[in-house]
A = this chain, B = another copy of it.
Amino acid sequence: MPLSTPELGRSARKRKLILEAATTAFLNRGYDGTSMDDVAALAAVSKPTVYKHFADKERLFYEIVLATTEPMSDLVRLIADAFGDTRHLERSLRQFARQFISALMQPRVLRLRRLVIANAERFPEMGRAWYAHGFERALAALADEFRRLTDQRLLCADDPLMAANHFVGLLLWIPVNKVMFSGEAGTSSAAELQHYADAAVGAFLSAYGGRDQVTHQR
């Protein structure tokens, strides 16, 4: 007998509660430190209910990790909107770099990054999927913009995807490593992030600025 609408609604609500509880538990305690009992307790549902929705802890882990790539869609939109006014490429790039670095340096994003890295050897497909659905989408969108700007001779990027990786590497290498190795104590201040963003844009434009991009001075 098919479920009636209220039952479906209740089931979906419970599933959502379980996913939220699992995200909290995995981010706080890691994969090994989290049990299905913990998740059930935190979601205030019974353990059989957890197992009805998710066959095992591994399946639940995959699901919550992949769900967290959703906010990347906002970043991809940010990229598409960032370079509309190309009369002031340096200004646009600077503003975009500041927004991008703030978005990726959110504590929750960084804790998730740590969780994925910690478990990538055990669940390589999960890590690959997370990177592909998340970060690579942003890199591809950025590469598209750099290709367009190269066509307009505002940038000079023969390999736009490499240029996108270089942009992000210049921007994120310092602050991401600081947090990855020092935990939350290594969090950069807003002023530091802004300084890294501006320095990255300066270096990037010196490396990849096009012939018709004249506003930039090193």
Contact = CB atoms under 8 A, between A and B. Distances in A.
Interface of A: 30, 32-33, 111, 114, 116-118, 120-122, 124, 127-128, 130-131, 135, 156, 159, 162-163, 165-166, 168-174, 177-178, 180-186, 199-200, 203-204, 206-208, 218
A118 B127 contact: no
B181 A128 contact: yes
A166 B116 contact: no
Contacts of A185: 124, 128
A194 to B, nearest CB: 14
Contact of A174 (B118, B120, B165, B181): B165
B130 A181 contact: yes
B180 A174 contact: no
Given A121-B114, A124-B183, A182-B120, A208 B199 contact: no
A131 B162 contact: no
**Which of A121, A177, A199 has most chain B Cβ within 10 Å?**
A121
Contacts of A180: 117, 120, 127
A116 B181 contact: yes
A208 B204 CA distance: 10
- Give the 8 A-B residue pairs with the shortest CB-CB distance, closest first: A169-B173, A118-B118, A124-B183, A207-B207, A131-B181, A169-B169, A206-B207, A127-B181
B159 A165 contact: no
B200 A166 contact: yes
A117 B117 contact: yes
A81 to B, nearest CB: 24
A67 B53 CA distance: 45
A80 to B, nearest CB: 22
A114 B114 contact: no
Contacts of A171: 169
23 contacts: A32-B32, A114-B118, A114-B121, A117-B180, A120-B180, A121-B184, A124-B185, A127-B180, A127-B181, A127-B182, A127-B186, A128-B181, A130-B181, A131-B177, A131-B181, A156-B218, A162-B199, A166-B173, A166-B203, A169-B172, A169-B173, A172-B173, A173-B173
